[in-house]
Amino acid sequence: MGSNKHGADGEDLLLEVPLGTIVRDSESGEVVVDLSGEGLAVIIAQGGRGGLGNEHFKSSTNRAPRRITKGKPGEERVLDLELKLLADVGLIGMPNAGKSTLISRISESKPKIADYPFTTLQPNLGVVGLGDYNSCVVADIPGLIPGASKGKGLGLEFLRHVERCELLLHLVDASLPPEHGLTDFDAVTHELFAFSPQLAKKHRLAVLTKLDVTESRTHLLQLREGLAERGMEVHAISAVSGLGLDELLGKLSQMLKQTREPEQDFILTTQAKNS
């Protein structure tokens, strides 16, 4: 406006998002930033530049300049925000495989538990103590079904959370006939690979559940043999009675330590070079 009036400097517009949010350009699909670290901030769109009135160009020799510059608009972008949970371990398996019961026993998480499929409608997180002051974050990923990689059964809503996990515990219901359990295992494995070949290559541990209601030890042996043929290490548990849980957590601690060691070595090497 006239009489040397000007608008106040514009304040930054800050949008706070949950840890683990991925920002993508809506048109190109390019990842702008992956906010996977605490306190990270990035400029998504630069503000415009303000215009200059004639007062700015006033000098001792030009007391009444007739010159101005117009302001320039800021950047405009259309973005997609996608949240991927940050968890060390993901519990996967068919609906009603015992994932919610397991996370409720090894952590303080209290998910809804019922004896029908699709009880869990959203991922649940729990912090699990592993001894020696170590802990990890476990995510209970709702049941995957055939076609999940194409969006069936909210598959795409859940599969993306698995991508961040360092380790996957693949739960198989041992109370089912062996052929059913192996078919379920293969179906979930197929969906992992169809969603992302890299996802299917993550460290996985097969966990046979519901030993408290598994009557036939022959069936259990057949399940173990079938999973071993698929290259899987197998642990058997009962989340209800607690059978095998201590051994499972010990194995979990060992595997996480192995997966984290390369990353720690890289950080130390980088710091040494910088120093």
**pLDDT (tens digit, 9 = 90+) per residue, 146-174?**
554 455 544 455 666 677 788 899 999 99
Q: In whole angstroms, give the CA distance from residue 54 to residue 4.
A: 9
Beta strands in 19-122, from DSSP E residues, in sequence order:
21-25, 31-35, 79-83, 89-93
Q: What is the pLDDT of residues 184-226, one digit of tens each?
A: 999 888 888 887 777 777 888 999 999 988 777 788 899 999 9
Q: Would you list the domain boundaries of the chain?
A: 1-83, 89-265
Give me the CATH topology for the region 89-265. Answer: Rossmann fold (3.40.50)
Q: Which amino acid is at 128?
A: V
CATH class of 1-83: mainly beta
Q: Which residues contact 148 (CB under 8 A, 6 or more apart)?
A: 155, 156, 158, 159, 191, 195
**Which has more confidence, 108 or 110?**
108
3-state SS string over 121-172?
CCCEEEEEEEECCEEEEEEECCCCCCCHHHCHHHHHHHHHHHCCCCEEEEEE
Closest alpha carbon to 45 in 29, 25, 27: 25
Higher pLDDT, 7 or 257: 257
Q: Where are the alpha helices (DSSP H) in 165-275?
A: 178-195, 197-200, 217-229, 245-274
DSSP-derived pairing of the beta strands 203-209 and 124-131: unpaired
- What is residue 258's predicted lDDT score, i.e. its pLDDT? 80
Task: Give dist(CA 10, CA 51) in Å, integer.
Answer: 13
CA distance 123 to 118: 12
